[in-house]
């Protein structure tokens, strides 16, 4: 994306996290109600100690399962309500699409790993509740370069078949598909790895 006369790829290593319920569903009942999504209202946690450098907390939720009109998207609102954390050593963590009024931190605040930053919503350029997360080399959410990172520990519990994902060729179809059929018989513990596309993971307590 061109920002201030330079090309940047801030989302190079981004993950869009969506939560499944115990039946493998992203949403139950009416998919136009954000409250029916398994992800909606989930606590968003700090991945590491850091300092808050930017927040936005004033945007209303979009109505799923459709993305907003592109003509309404601007650099200011594209990522919805969000938090940027300075992790030190030129690494910044970015959390997007949070609930209006849920963000509990302010710029300049120091946060600890695991601290609640706010709640997951469906704001900005989003067709359904999900957490967009990436790490970048500067505080600008678009005018920075995405950098690789690993997750300390998780369980690999499944893989969504690529052909099934391709068959869900609309946002509405994706939201209402049962993804639990991709679960493995036995989870596989992983350490210091980066989850690949369409994998299902769990974070044991």
For residue 3, the model assigns a pLDDT of 77
Dihedral sign for Cα atoms in the order 53, 57, 62, 64: positive
For residue 2, the model assigns a pLDDT of 78
What mean pLDDT value characterizes the chain?
93
82 neighbors 95 (Cβ within 8 angstroms): yes
Q: Is the pLDDT of residue 7 over 90?
A: no
Domains of the chain with CATH codes: 2-136 (2.70.70), 151-202 (no CATH)
For residue 164, the model assigns a pLDDT of 81
Place of tokens 């115990």: 22
DSSP per residue, 71-137: GG--TTTTT-EEEEEEEETTEEEEEEEEPTT-----TT-EE-TT-EEEEB---SS-SS--EEEEEES
* CA–CA separation, 38 and 24 (whole Å): 10
The percentage of residues in the chain with a pLDDT greater than 70, rounded to a whole number, is 100
For residue 39, the model assigns a pLDDT of 96
Q: Is the pLDDT of residue 4 over 80?
A: no
C-alpha distances (whole Å) from 66 to each of 32, 108, 173, 174, 176 are 9, 35, 11, 11, 13
Please give the model's pTM, rounded to 2 decimal places: 0.93
> CA triplet 52, 55, 58: central angle to 5 degrees?
155
pLDDT digits (tens, 9 = 90+) for 98-153: 999 999 999 999 999 999 999 999 999 999 999 999 999 999 998 999 999 999 99
| pLDDT confidence bin for 161, thresholds 50/70/90 | confident
HSE value, Cβ hemisphere, 13 Å, CA-based, for 100: 9
pLDDT digits (tens, 9 = 90+) for 41-63: 999 999 999 999 999 999 999 99
Q: Is the pLDDT of residue 170 over 80?
A: no
The distance from CA 61 to its chain's CA centroid, rounded to whole angstroms, is 15
Q: How many helices (H) and strands (E) does the chain have?
A: 2, 13
For residue 168, the model assigns a pLDDT of 80
Dihedral sign for Cα atoms in the order 162, 167, 171, 172: negative
């Amino acid at each position: 994306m061109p920002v201030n006369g330079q090309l940047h790829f801030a989302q190079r290593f981004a993950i869009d996290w969506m939560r499944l319920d115990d039946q493998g569903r992203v949403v139950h009942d009416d998919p136009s109600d954000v409250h029916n999504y398994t992800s909606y209202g989930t606590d968003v946690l700090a991945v590491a100690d850091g300092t808050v450098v930017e927040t936005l907390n004033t945007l209303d939720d979009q109505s799923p399962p459709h993305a907003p009109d592109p003509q309404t998207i601007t650099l200011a609102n594209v990522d919805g309500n969000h938090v940027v954390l300075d992790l030190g050593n030129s690494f910044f963590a970015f959390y997007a699409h949070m609930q209006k009024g849920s963000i509990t931190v302010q710029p300049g605040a120091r946060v600890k790993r695991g601290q609640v930053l706010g709640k997951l919503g469906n704001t900005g350029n989003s067709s359904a509740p999900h957490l967009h997360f990436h790490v970048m080399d500067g505080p600008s959410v678009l005018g920075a370069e995405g950098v690789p990172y690993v997750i300390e520990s998780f369980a690999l519990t499944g893989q969504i078949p690529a052909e099934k994902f391709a068959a869900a060729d609309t946002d509405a179809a994706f939201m209402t598909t049962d993804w639990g059929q991709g679960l493995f018989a036995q989870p596989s513990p992983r350490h210091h790895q980066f989850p690949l596309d369409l994998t299902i993971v769990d974070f044991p307590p």
